[in-house]
Amino acid sequence: MIDWTKTDNFLAHEWPGSVIDNMDAYLFHECIFPLRELSGVPMTPSPLREGHIRAVGGSRHSLDHGDGPRLSDASDLFIASDKTKVSTVLGHARQIHAIGGFGLYFDTKPSVMIHVDARPTVKRVNGIQIRWLRVDGDYIYEHKDPAMYYAELANQLEKL
């Protein structure tokens, strides 16, 4: 069960409907709450149910990966489209070991969206946090093409 007394920065009703009933408390206690606290950057949960839980599929948001029911260990949140704030959040996300996957979405409205998940170490690349960008619907993964990842990150930050 999510302990909302562990944060002064979020309220349960900010997540749509009853999605938090199907979300892993570890994601909040060890990833989302610390990221918000350490970064100091305001975050707004996506108003879309699918930004937090999905019925089936391979996503960290999914409640069933085909091997039985599970809790979602991923959440999408919006942050200001400001290069300093985006850089700050990215820097702090890298330091939180519990965050197994971190995505920056530069093609969302109303602002930049972040994906935070608590995928276990065995689902990471060599045990390291997986990071990616989404730009115009295309995904760019740091571990697959670091040069492209960092070049596009710099390009997107300059546009903010």
pLDDT tens-digit map of 45-91:
999 999 999 998 889 999 998 888 999 999 999 999 999 999 999 99
Q: What is the CA radius of gyration of the chain?
A: 15
Mean pLDDT to the nearest integer, 18-24: 97
Query: Starting at the edge strand that comes first in sequence, how are the strands of the sheet with 130-135 ordered?
Result: 44-45, 74-78, 113-117, 101-105, 130-135, 138-141
The percent of residues above 70 in pLDDT, for the chain, comes to 100
- Residue 102's pLDDT is 98
Least confident among 50-54, 94-98, 119-123: 119-123
Query: What's the pLDDT score for residue 34?
Result: 98
CATH number at residue 90: 3.30.1380
Question: What's the pLDDT at 56?
Answer: 84
pLDDT, one tens digit per residue, over 84-93 is 999 999 999 9
So what's the pLDDT on residue 87? 98
Domain around 56: 4-159
**CA–CA gap between residue 63 and residue 80 (Å, rounded):** 29
Total number of domains constituting the chain: 1
Per-residue pLDDT at 131 exceeds 90: yes
- Whole-number average pLDDT of the chain: 96
Flag whether pLDDT at 21 surpasses 90: yes
The pTM of this model reads 0.95
Residue 158, pLDDT > 90, answer: yes
